[in-house]
Copies of this chain bind each other. A is one copy, B any other.
């Protein structure tokens, strides 16, 4: 029948071909901020790198100051004076975290997110904690960024306020569609809006400070009415200040982005990535300080109806002119871009965790459109539900947000500190290769350990402050979900390990022989071209073929039997009468009878003819017999169900 030379005479042939994705798949990958890490021939410089990775971090200036004011408002507008000192404290924290991450970039030139660093240095449980924290934060990045973006739009066009939830959902769906569609994102697509935002914000802050010192700035005209969220207090308590500080730390979200995507940079990539991080921190810190300073001096008031950024811009630019609209547009666009990066980060981290066996392994096939889409849609649905539940209010979403960010900061930096400790205790010349990085002795390890350790300590303290002050506002949800997620990851991991050990060939002995009786059963409801195709296939598989007809109607059966004389080609036809007009049950009954009486080492294949109608919708009109049999017979060893597709001409 076939030429057995093909493989019998040769031993193991190992041919290697390379798969190059066609154009439409490369769309899916090239230029996508973090997927670029896979394509080292398309690296980017510092200027483009800043644009690609900074949108998440810089966009937080759009809401961080406002969230400080929201908390201070509990003690009346008089307390707003504390906003600037609190902002200074946050910028100091930013400096510590940035320096700490700069060290991570050099230690992990292949990308060192919190998950990798924790896994390699702290072990499984901290790594799972980091993964859980990060996955939740990617979801919240989408919700918070979009909610804040919509708040900017609503500030410029107050008549849209009542539609803010619908607009936010539309934005999430828009970003989802972009990501599902897989448009080509070039560096320029990121550079233009990011630099547009940076330039306009610096212009705004500079003019504002100039006017303040020349005494021409004045106060906000017609500020929105102050809304008290939560209880009011009569004096400014330390708790209130810590609470406000916690809210303001939202400014730090996104700082870790560069350390995840180092491979996207031109060589020397660690150096380039490190310098970009420092630039980003400086820009973020100065914008944040500038905004906080000016906000408190123009008497801006936190409100759901008009953002602080909007109040600031219209005070500095004397109304809602072109420059004002430019600031609002730039801020909205960079916020939506921040949400977009979460859509790239979420499947990326899922893939990493899946590769280690903590999430369904399908997620590791990152490019497979089906699986990828699944992650994107999941993210969009959860983020939309959060937006609806929290009425698209940044203030209500924030308590859920930053706790995860700071947990991952803490773990990442603690992992780095642990790594320096290991390095310090290596003999010179010894090299240990870990999955994410190479360890060899370095000088000044003590100093570097202290930097990372101090960073970790600071973020740990902030996290605790956050958990306590924001507990009632919603942080408890995160503290409740975290162990659930970690438990789920562990359960999945246990399943995979169990399966792997039970499938292992370690102590398997001899492989089973390639011989054995092979019996083929073909269910036949009617005799037509599709039946003949299935029958022909069945005879290819084995000489032992039985056709089975479930008879629900004697007239039909007579017709089948008559046709069988002509077309059945001596294949045995068994008729199973079904007086109750059942179809699946008699067929299963017959098959199970055969299974029960088979010889050992006998394989049974059920060959089912399946129509493929010209239009997919017509599938609903044809019995999916194979699927139903497969479901019922899944647990029987040595039974294979095959459907032979027959394309209806």
- How far in angstroms is the closest Cβ of chain B from A567? 6
One of B21, B364, B577 near A585 (C-beta < 8 A): B21
In the complex, what residues of B have CB within 8 A of residue A648's CB?
499, 502-503
* Interface stretch (choices A159-167, A297-305, A325-333, A510-518): A510-518
Say whether, besides A570-B7, A570-B12, A542 and B2 are in contact (CB < 8 Å). yes
> When the two chains form their complex, are residues A577 and B542 in contact, meaning their CB atoms are under 8 A apart?
no
A211 at the interface (CB under 8 A from B): no
Q: Tell whether A78 is near chain B: CB-to-CB under 8 Å.
A: no
- What are the residues of chain B within 8 A of A191 when measuring CB–CB? none
Q: How many residues of A contact B (CB 8 A)?
A: 123
Task: Name the interface residues of A332-377: CB closer than 8 Å to any CB of B.
Answer: 351, 360-362, 364-370
Binds B, one of A173-181, A199-207, A228-236, A610-618: A610-618
Does A444 touch B at the CB level, under 8 Å?
Answer: no
Cβ distance A515 to chain B, nearest Cβ, rounded Å: 6
Partner of A7 from the list B3, B572, B611 (CB cut-off 8 Å) is B572
Are A528 and B543 CB-contacts (below 8 A) given A29-B580, A367-B581, A581-B364? no
Q: Which residues does chain B contribute within 8 Å of A613, judged by CB atoms?
A: 495, 499
Query: Which of A123-131, A422-430, A620-628 lies at the interface?
Result: A620-628
Minimum CB–CB distance for A336 against chain B, Å: 27
Q: A634 vs B8: C-alpha distance in the bound complex, in angstroms? A: 31
- Please judge, given known A-B contacts A504-B528, A532-B511, whether A628 and B580 are in contact too, CB under 8 Å: no
**A649 contacts the other chain (Cβ, under 8 Å)?**
yes
List chain B residues, Cβ under 8 A from A503: 528-530, 611, 646, 648
A514 touches B585 (CB 8 A): no
Chain A stretch 178-220: residues in CB contact (< 8 A) with chain B: none
Q: In the complex the two chains form, is B1's CB within 8 Å of A518's CB? A: yes
User: Is the beta-carbon distance between A568 and B640 smaller than 8 angstroms?
Assistant: no
- Asked whether A91 is an interface residue with its Cβ less than 8 Å from the other chain, the reply is no
Cβ of A611 to closest chain B Cβ, rounded Å = 7
Q: Assess whether A645 is interfacial by the CB under 8 Å rule.
A: yes
Report the minimal beta-carbon distance from A620 to chain B, rounded to whole angstroms: 6
Contact of A512 among B366, B513, B536, B634 (CB under 8 A): B536
Find residues 592-649 in chain A having any chain B CB closer than 8 Å to their own CB. Answer: 603, 605, 611-613, 618, 620-623, 628, 630, 634-635, 637, 639-649
**Pairwise interchain contact A577-B12, C-beta atoms closer than 8 A:** no
When the two chains form their complex, are residues B19 and A370 in contact, meaning their CB atoms are under 8 A apart?
Answer: no
A561 is an interface residue with CB less than 8 A from chain B: yes
> Does A586 sit at the interface, judged by CB under 8 A?
yes
Contacts of A611 in B (CB 8 A): 499, 503
Contact at A25–B585, with CB atoms within 8 Å? yes
Q: Which B residues are CB-close (under 8 A) to A82?
A: none
Q: Which residue of the partner chain B has the closest CB to A514? A: B539
A21 pairs with B580, CB closer than 8 A: yes
Chain A contact residues, CB within 8 Å of chain B: 1-4, 6-8, 10-19, 21, 25, 29, 38, 351, 360-362, 364-370, 492, 495-496, 499-500, 502-505, 508, 511-519, 527-530, 532-533, 536-537, 539-546, 550-552, 561, 563-586, 589-590, 603, 605, 611-613, 618, 620-623, 628, 630, 634-635, 637, 639-649
